[in-house]
Amino acid sequence: MTKKPLNEIKEYLIFITDRYLGVRPRSIKEMRDYYARKLKRYNLSDEETQTLIEERIISLLATSLLDDEAFARWYVAEKSHFKHRGTIRLLIELKRKGIPDELIEQALSTKEEQDVDIIKHLLLTKYRSYNMNSLIERQRAQNGLLRRGFSFRDIKTALEENDPEE
């Protein structure tokens, strides 16, 4: 494969950026990883690849198309409201996306709904058919909530508050 001129590669990066950011906001790490995957086909040296990626990242930061703080706030709001994810899982997912710990803490502190309220909602909707008096079904619901990233303490609190017999 012949090497393409760097100008063509830069235009290609601009084109794929519009498409990739058009779907949803992205973190800086997500963009770096995406560019690295896309640039593999051009057989560039590591130095050339890193230079192209950093130029593009700096350009996106300058135009405010990339902002880890705004991304973290959006991600927490989106995933806790629509996907009903708990704080623990959100923290793990944001770390995986390369968000610094301080920004994760800020984003989680802006979370509108408390985990206990989300759990209560899930118990009334997704787990409504479960018989919470049955140990097996209660454990099944608890395990499902734990996988969603809720703490056992919050699950226990929500179950106690939802239990009509106590």
pLDDT in tens, 51-110: 999 999 999 999 999 999 999 999 999 999 999 999 999 999 999 999 999 999 999 998
Rounded mean pLDDT of 21-36? 96
Same domain, 11 and 58: yes
Please tell me the total count of domains within the chain: 3
**Enclosing domain of residue 119:** 115-162
Same domain, 58 and 17: yes
Residue type, 124: L
Counting residues of the chain whose pLDDT is more than 70, the rounded percentage is 96
Same domain, 52 and 89: no
**Domain end position, chosen among 62, 77, 94:** 62
* pLDDT over 60 (residue 1): no
Name the maximum alpha-carbon separation found in the chain. 74
Q: According to DSSP H, which parts of the chain are helical?
A: 6-23, 28-39, 46-62, 68-82, 87-96, 101-109, 115-124, 135-147, 152-162
Distance CA 11, CA 151 (A): 46
Same domain, 57 and 13: yes
Which burial class, exposed, middle or buried, applies to 47 when counting CB atoms under 10 A from its CB (0-12, 13-18, 19+)?
exposed
Same domain, 48 and 85: no
Contact 119, 155 (CB under 8 A): yes
Same domain, 10 and 57: yes
Answer whether residue 1 is part of any domain. no
